[in-house]
A and B are shown apart, each in its own frame.
Chain A
Amino acid sequence: MSQPITPLASIFPLPLGEGQGEGAKPRSTTEQPALAPAWHHSALTLTASAPFHGVFAPEVLLPSLLRLCAQSSHVVEGHTLHRFEPQGASLFLHGPRLRLALHTWPERGLATLDVACADADADALVDAVCLALALRVSERHRVCPSERDGGAE
Chain B
Amino acid sequence: MLGWHWILDALDCDVAALCDREALARALVEVPDALGLTRVSQPQLFEHRDGPDGARTLAGVILLAESHFSLHARPHLGALHADLFSCVPFPASAARDALRRYYPFTRATEQVLHRGEGRR
Contact = CB atoms under 8 A, between A and B. Distances in A.
Interface of A: 1, 3, 5-6, 8, 11-14, 26-30, 32, 34-35, 37, 39, 41, 43, 45, 47, 77-78, 80, 82, 84, 90, 92, 94, 96-97, 99, 101, 103, 105, 110, 112, 114, 118, 138-139, 141, 143, 145, 148, 150, 152
A152 B118 contact: yes
Contacts of B111: 5, 8, 26-27, 143, 150
Given A1-B120, A78-B46, A101-B70, A94 B61 contact: yes
A96 B48 contact: yes
Contacts of A152: 113, 118
Given A12-B92, A92-B61, A103-B68, A82 B41 contact: yes
Interface residues of B, number: 50
A138 B119 contact: yes
Contacts of B61: 80, 92, 94, 99, 101
Given A11-B4, A32-B107, 11 more contacts: A6-B114, A26-B111, A29-B110, A37-B77, A39-B81, A92-B61, A92-B70, A96-B49, A99-B59, A114-B85, A138-B120
B110 A94 contact: no
Interface in B90-106: 91-93, 106
Contacts, number: 153
A30 B50 contact: no
Contacts of A148: 109
Contacts of B41: 80, 82
